[in-house]
Structure 1
């Protein structure tokens, strides 16, 4: 058996994984009560963080009467090979399943994913996809060996801390979904705004947050509000993480990045236009 999971390691979960699990749960067969599959991700050796970035379902048939679960190994192998071609930096981290509690088949799945993970210990992501509480409540577990040395041994699934994280592209999609959820009466789904409009929206949002922080600092200095140590430490960490750059160098850096983004937008529009023209020309030749 592999060594137990490092409790001090931080595990980060990307929202794409939850969306994939919800989609698989909605598309499950009528006679299936739950879905399960493989979770993929990467281990950052520099900071010790483990990121769960992707997943895919595995066809299975559970037989609780005899304590057995049959997996479609060929399907799981083919799905993993295809994923490794598109995302070679990801590796198998464990498995996911839907439900409110760890099922009896977790021990059997642990043995299978111990071989799939290699040296690392498999993780178990549990998601309640019924949404009866209006929340997903994802939980992460790792198996800990218990028992008497030289005697009977077993596995106990211990819960691990789990944090949500997202990249820039994911944040754009999440903000769009948040805006759409605030106006459920509208039938038309909002479209993703162009890059420059997103920059303007992000700048306005940052300005509002800065005004809120400045208002809090001024109130504390004027003794209108009692200072909060947690807020003070958070502000200190945020300011310490920002490199000290004078206004002129920041302006030059911002303009250079803005020009690069405009060039990328122009090239993408040119490629899109060329593809549309090529498609129309090919259809004219067919006629």
Structure 2
């Protein structure tokens, strides 16, 4: 059975202000270019390995396009910025770094070892943020570096240690103040012409597409294991067995398929009726507004006509008489 080493960071929670800072950094410095944005992550790591990414700042970074292992990372800038942030929030420390990827590059391990020198725990968290995600789901991926025996690495001696990136579970979390600020920001970017029902249907569609993509990854992994291209991992197979055990026993029966079809048809019918009702109500409000506008214009015309008639009547005072 293949054993997995204990990760120095077991999971990471990334706050919205960090995501906003990464996107702003990318839009200012790297948009419409082949460059990527690189910066430092600030936060806390408890004894259980739970990382809270609370803040971030950008770092001057350059890569050689001809040689991907050659890069420039400004150490002095990181030290000065960390000292200034420590004066504002003493609780936040350097816990890792980020990049806009979109994938791991050859220079990442070198940058990771440099950032680890700034981390008090000796372990750094590496977060790749997709500023323009093509698939639904979380736009972030988190990694830590571990040493592994390179028995399967070509051109290296057996037993020689090498460092690899190991995936770390991550999620998006926010404090109460951050939730309020995020809601205010979403008010400016939200499309108010789209109904709530349409948004819920779109969210379910995105969730189904994300589920399909993950099932495709599982299928490809099992095919690679069956063909011998990937090693057998007992923890992954155990997790898949738990998922399969949770499915209904008669998943392939016609009764279950019909029950799902009936439930789906009923929900679709409710959505269709609700959409028709919403359209009728909108048209009704439009007709009422048009009627009220015509009535107001008619009253104004009658009032203007009465005023004109009163002024043209015999014996009515004129400007000359008043003089």
> TM class, shorter-chain normalised?
0.5 to 0.7
CA distance in structure 2 between the aligned counterparts of 1:50 and 1:25, rounded to whole angstroms: 24
Match of 2:280 in 1: none
RMSD: 2.6
CA distance in structure 1 between the aligned counterparts of 2:29 and 2:63, rounded to whole angstroms: 14
CA distance in structure 1 between the aligned counterparts of 2:95 and 2:172, rounded to whole angstroms: 16
TM-score between the two structures when normalised by the length of structure 2: 0.51
Deviation at 1:130, TM superposition (A): 2.6
State whether residues 144 and 158 of structure 1, in contact with CA within 8 Å, keep that contact through their aligned partners in structure 2: yes
State whether residues 8 and 123 of structure 2, in contact with CA within 8 Å, keep that contact through their aligned partners in structure 1: no
Match of 1:71 in 2: 73
Match of 1:86 in 2: 88
State whether residues 36 and 100 of structure 2, in contact with CA within 8 Å, keep that contact through their aligned partners in structure 1: yes
* Residue among 70, 76, 97 paired with 1:95: 97
Rate the CA distance shift 1:4–1:77 in 2: closer, same or farther, 3 A.
Answer: farther
Match of 1:111 in 2: 113
State the number of aligned residues. 182
After the TM superposition, which residues 266-285 of structure 1 pair with which residues of structure 2 at under 5 Å, given as runs?
none
Matched, 1:170 2:178: yes
State whether residues 68 and 108 of structure 1, in contact with CA within 8 Å, keep that contact through their aligned partners in structure 2: no
Match of 1:17 in 2: 18
* Residue among 129, 142, 150 paired with 1:140: 142
CA distance in structure 2 between the aligned counterparts of 1:119 and 1:6, rounded to whole angstroms: 9
Q: Deviations over 1:17-53 (max 9, x none)?
A: 00000000000056552110110101234x6532000
Q: Which SS does the other structure have where 2:25 is aligned? A: helix
Rate the CA distance shift 1:131–1:88 in 2: closer, same or farther, 3 A.
Answer: same
Give ranges in structure 2 of 5+ residues lacking alignment.
Answer: 152-157, 194-323
Matched, 1:55 2:56: yes
State whether residues 138 and 171 of structure 2, in contact with CA within 8 Å, keep that contact through their aligned partners in structure 1: no
Q: Which SS does the other structure have where 2:98 is aligned? A: strand
CA distance in structure 2 between the aligned counterparts of 1:35 and 1:182, rounded to whole angstroms: 26
Q: Say which one has the larger Rg.
A: 2
Deviation at 1:69, TM superposition (A): 1.1
CA distance in structure 1 between the aligned counterparts of 2:60 and 2:192, rounded to whole angstroms: 35
State whether residues 141 and 170 of structure 2, in contact with CA within 8 Å, keep that contact through their aligned partners in structure 1: yes
State whether residues 37 and 97 of structure 1, in contact with CA within 8 Å, keep that contact through their aligned partners in structure 2: yes
